[in-house]
Structure 1
Amino acid sequence: MPLEQENILIVDDDVQILELIQRLLQSLNYHTYKAISVKEAIAILQDQSIDLLITDLQMPGVDGLQLVKYVSEHFPEIPKLAVTGFPSIDGALKAMKSGVMDYLIKPFTKEELKNAVQKSLALSQKPVQKTKRKSQGNTVYSEIIGQSESMQNVLNVIDRVKDNKATVFIKGESGTGKELVARAIHYMGRFSAAPFVAVNCGAIPESLLEAELFGYTKGAFTGANDNRSGFFQAANNGTLFLDEIGNASMATQLSLLRVLQEKEIMRVGSQKTEKIDVRVIAATNVDLRELIKNGRFREDLYYRLSVVQIEVPPLRDRKSDIPLLVDKFLFKYGVEYKDRIIKISDEALLALERYDWPGNIRELENSIQRAVIMCDKQVEIGNLPKHLKFQIDFPKQDTFLSLKEVERLHILKVLEATKNNKSKAAEILQIDRKTLRDKIK
């Protein structure tokens, strides 16, 4: 009888059980791979095409339940069958919730194994069911989305400052949406018809920043062939957003202090002052207090800038907002790339909510953009990058194996790969058959 097409991976730390299951499956004409640890199993999964995972749940170090979770997210198309010699209702429930399709209790018969394997392979062919999540309601303020308590606090402050020209200082990690907050302050208030000018102080060379901010006169420096207005003049009567303010030089900081105190500017190369009416909103992703301690930022300017402070929370501290942000990006990129609205499975959304997002909303948006491109009709767990899926922290190996033990394990591995062909194994090991026989003994 010919071999079945399915490749089955068996994982168990008990070598006797491992070989027993392998023999039973081979008698049913399945092609098998075996591993005695989770780490070895993952190596096989990455190198081979596996159609079914059979794993023991109770294993030392990293257990089989973690392997099931890993496979559920990294290889969601592979069905999982759990075997255990220590059955419990709680263990069975955990296994089923992690994605196990069937549960076998040791000892089991060949017929029970056969039925469980056939059932698991058959169930893996069923179409993925789409589930609907409850509507989260309308929580959009301008372009800002958030229903978490921390974001509601941000929105409350925006609401209080949007109709006056008090200087605002926005703190937050990179990618949290500091510019969105600045734009909301401007465009949701009564000065929305006036200009909004955004300046990334970190993107302008330090030697040019002052000239770009305040303008310059003809002949002020090499290349200044005409009089030119700066960003402050462009934002007159409106809002100037100074992002990455911590990158400004000490000389530029002194000029900014004068602007905030006197409400007037002086172009580079000029002796005349110009009155301006500009609301300044500054932002940074670094701790300005640390810069002050190190003599790299003026303390008096810091207090001038932070009349009102807004701290935008990182995404890891507002995970309840992730479904709302995901829906926004799915709509945006679904329409752009697929000409339709794309949905997301509950499993994929759970993976997004579990991740800590060091790159914050910008990283989330990039991940959704990629997932929409990679998916068909719905974003599934398999469409997400590997680093978003369940990861296993293998315990550090505190003890080193002896040379004899390393040799023994390597010989066993070669014998397994050559299906116990001692001539072939001796050739690979570059020893003669007699030496190999002695080592086996």
Structure 2
Amino acid sequence: MQLRKENILIVDDDVNILELLQRHLQSWNYHVFKAISVKEAVTILRDTSINLLITDLKMPEVDGSELIKFVSEHYPKLPKLVVTGYPSVQDSLVAIKSGVVDYLTKPFTKSELKSALDRSLNSSEEKEIESKKILVDKNKSYGEIIGNSEKINNVIQVIERVKNNKATIFIKGESGTGKELVARAIHYQGKFSRAPFIAVNCGAIPENLLEAELFGYLKGAFTGAETNREGLFQAANGGTIFLDEIGNASLTVQSRLLRVLQEKEVVKVGATKAEKIDVRIVAATNSNLREMITKQTFREDLFYRLTVVEIEIAPLRERKDDITLLVDKFLFKYGVEYKDKYIQITPEALTVLERYNWPGNIRELENVIQRAVIMCDKVIDVEHLPEHLKYALNFREGDLLPLKTIEKQYIEKVLRATGNNKTKAAEILGIDRKTIRQKLLD
């Protein structure tokens, strides 16, 4: 008997039901996988390509509703069919909200099972066709990355090539361009998505604590180390650790990172024994590491270890085609959060946003939309935008201004609008006070 291409996973703690379902499914030439617990089902899902999940709801330890939630999150295209002997309105609602295609109550006939099976598999095919249409017609997002410009599509193509391996990846781009979103896409769009993802802002952790936070420490290793503690590398074992603002790491921490990359092991502060780890490292910075190498503040050997694959994210001023899509995202996000409704924007206000050069990039755009949603009633107009956005640079057509000059002029306008409040200006621009000082001095 030739088996069909579909693999069906059935999950039930009642072995009699498992055998009954298996007989029916095999009589229709399906390939069947069986699990008597949610834990066993998850193991099968991780190692096998499954086309349909059939699960009971009431099971000991972890129940079927948790399995349905897990599948909805990690395998959103996988159709789900519930078969249960204890139906309830609440269970039905949970199942439907989690994307369950059909709901069978025990006992059921063979024909009822076949009808539910056909509906579930047909639904899967329809979703696949629809998803392909959406991909072709509305390729506007990838994970949390929003955009359809050529520069964003180039980034996505690189992510597609690296997401299923653990090569070390270096993301470079200005502050506020979405480096962490790219790191998350690398992790969550690939086959290691069920493993941990740990994000570390190396610039936000005091230099004297960064080493202990990353690698852990033993009791008594330093003042205040009252217990043994695992580090963030150990927490990310099997998955991905994202080291943002890696340029802020001290030379001591850099030396330890080099060992992690070379030996695939970490040593806790105060320990002598190394621990093997399996972690993909994704690093990012808005600093110029090559200049730091010249100044001997960043190790050259670590730089080349980190940059096995490089991804450069273009600033928002170089992909203005994406502004409308990003505005739509933030309008929905903050409209629901603050007004409990979708907020619209006038064409005039959108023109102002598209004309602006966004030195703070996407983070600055989000802050502007967040403020505008709060200030408006139903529609964002020009009057709801910050004053510094409304000013156009005064230079003759054909004049070419250096980018640093343009950024400096924008920052100075924001400072004037905030009464020279650097903290407020940094918040509006989506950059830190240190970056403001650097750009004004350049």
Q: TM-score, normalised by structure 1?
A: 0.58
Equivalence for 1:341: 342
Letter in 2 for 1:323: T
**Whole-Å separation in 2 of the counterparts to 1:394 and 1:247:** 37
Match of 1:227 in 2: 228
| Aligned twin of 1:302 | 303
Cα deviation, 1:243-263, whole Å, max 9, x if unaligned, reads 000011111101100110000
Question: How far apart, in 2, do the equivalents of 1:297 and 1:393 lie?
Answer: 40
| Whole-angstrom CA distance in 1 between matches of 2:380 and 2:310 | 38
Q: Equivalents in 1 of 2:395, 2:141: separation in Å?
A: 42
Is the contact made by 1:195 and 1:239 (CA closer than 8 Å) also made in structure 2? Answer: yes
CA distance in 1, matches of 2:296, 2:357: 33
Name the structure 2 match of 1:160. Answer: 161
| 1:17-56 matches, cutoff 5 A | none
Task: Name the structure 2 match of 1:137.
Answer: 138
Whichever residue aligns with residue 254 of structure 2, its letter is Q
SS class of match (2:203): helix
Query: 1:394: how far off?
Result: 9.6
Counterparts of 1:329 and 1:138, CA distance in 2:
18
Verify the 8 A CA contact 1:351 1:390 in the aligned structure 2. no
Query: In the aligned structure 1, how far is the partner of 2:153 from the partner of 2:260?
Result: 32
Structure 1: distance between partners of 2:376 and 2:268: 54
Distance 1:166 1:304 in 2: 10
Query: In the aligned structure 2, how far is the partner of 1:174 from the partner of 1:247?
Result: 14
Question: Shift in Å at residue 311 of structure 1?
Answer: 0.5
> What displacement does 1:393 show?
3.9
Matched length: 260
Q: 2: distance between equivalents of 1:205 and 1:385?
A: 34
> How many angstroms does 1:190 deviate by?
0.4
Q: Deviations over 1:125-166 (max 9, x none)?
A: xxxxxxxxxxx9341100001111111111111111111100
Cα contact 1:344–1:379 (8 A) shared by 2: yes
For residues 339-365 of structure 1, give each alpha carbon's deviation from its aligned partner in whole angstroms, at most 9, with x where no partner exists. 111111111000000000000000000
Spell out, residue by residue over 1:157-207, the C-alpha distance to the aligned partner (whole angstroms, 9 max, x if none).
111111110000000100000000000000110000000001111111111
The alpha-carbon deviation at position 387 of structure 1 amounts to 0.9
Is the CA contact 1:167–1:304 (under 8 Å) kept in the aligned structure 2?
yes
1:368 and 2:369 are equivalent in the alignment: yes
Identity of aligned residues (%): 71
> What's the CA shift string for 1:405-440, capped at 9, x where partnerless?
xxxxxxxxxxxxxxxxxxxxxxxxxxxxxxxxxxxx
Distance in 2 between residues matched to 1:238 and 1:320, nearest whole Å: 34
- Cα deviation, residue 336, structure 1: 1.1
- Match of 1:278? 279
Distance 1:202 1:379 in 2: 35
Which has the larger Rg? 1
Aligned residue type for 1:328: K
What is the distance in 2 between the residues matched to 1:327 and 1:138?
Answer: 15
The AA in structure 2 aligned to 1:179 is E
SS in 2 for 1:203: coil
CA contact (8 A) 1:172 1:285 kept: yes
User: 1:187 aligned to 2:193?
Assistant: no
Residue in 1 aligned with 2:214?
213
Matches of 2:315 and 2:394 in 1, distance apart? 25
Contact 1:196–1:240 (CA under 8 A) maintained in structure 2: yes
Provide the C-alpha distance between the structure 1 equivalents of 2:395 and 2:206, rounded to a whole number of angstroms.
Answer: 46
Q: Distance in 2 between matches of 1:258 and 1:369?
A: 43
Contact between 1:342 and 1:379, CA under 8 Å: does it hold in 2? Answer: yes
After superposition, the C-alpha distances for 1:228-277 in whole angstroms (9 at most, x for unaligned) are: 11000000000000000001111110110011000011111111010000
5 Å matches for 1:348-427?
348-391=349-392, 393=394
State the distance in 2 between where 1:226 and 1:191 align. 31
SS at match of 1:337: helix
Letter in 2 for 1:352: L
- Per the TM alignment, residue 377 of structure 1 is displaced from its structure 2 partner at its CA by 1.6
Letter in 1 for 2:364: E
CA contact (8 A) 1:211 1:230 kept: yes
Cα shift readout 1:9-61 (whole Å, capped 9, x = no counterpart): xxxxxxxxxxxxxxxxxxxxxxxxxxxxxxxxxxxxxxxxxxxxxxxxxxxxx
Tell me the distance in 2 between the aligned counterparts of 1:372 and 1:334: 6
User: 2:151 and 2:395 mapped to 1: Cα distance?
Assistant: 35
Partner of 1:403: none
Q: Distance in 2 between matches of 1:219 and 1:369?
A: 46
Structure 1 counterpart of 2:179: 178
* Counterparts of 1:390 and 1:205, CA distance in 2: 39
Once the 2 structures are TM-superposed, how far is the Cα of residue 335 of structure 1 from its aligned partner? 1.1
1:252 partner SS: helix
Q: 1:152 to 1:138 in 2, by over 3 A?
A: closer
Asked if structure 2 preserves the Cα contact closer than 8 Å seen for 1:329 and 1:369, the reply is yes
1:261 corresponding residue in structure 2: 262
Partner Cα distance (1:357, 1:157) in 2 = 25
1:293-332 map, 5 Å? 293-332=294-333
- Cα distance change on mapping 1:180 and 1:394 into 2, 3 Å: closer
Q: Give the CA deviation at 1:211.
A: 1.0
Q: Which runs of 4+ in 1 moved over 6 A?
A: none
What is the rounded CA distance, in whole Å, between the counterparts of 2:371 and 2:226 in structure 1?
Answer: 46
> Secondary structure of the equivalent of 2:336?
helix
1:296-332 C-alpha deviation (Å, 9 max, x unpaired): 0000000000000000110000000000000000011
| Structure having greater relative contact order (Cα 8 Å, sep ≥ 6) | 1
1:10-21 matches, within 5 Å, as none
Match of 1:76 in 2: none
* 1:313 partner amino acid: A
Report the AA paired with residue 254 of structure 1. Answer: S
Whole-Å separation in 2 of the counterparts to 1:394 and 1:146: 30
Report the equivalent of 1:115. Answer: none
Distance 1:320-1:206 versus aligned 2 partners, 3 A rule: same
* Equivalent pair of 1:170/1:311 in contact (CA under 8 Å): yes
Q: Which amino acid aligns with 1:224?
A: A
Distance (whole Å) between structure 1 residues aligned to residue 317 and residue 349 of structure 2: 17
The answer as to whether partners of 1:145 and 1:324 remain within 8 angstroms in 2 is: yes
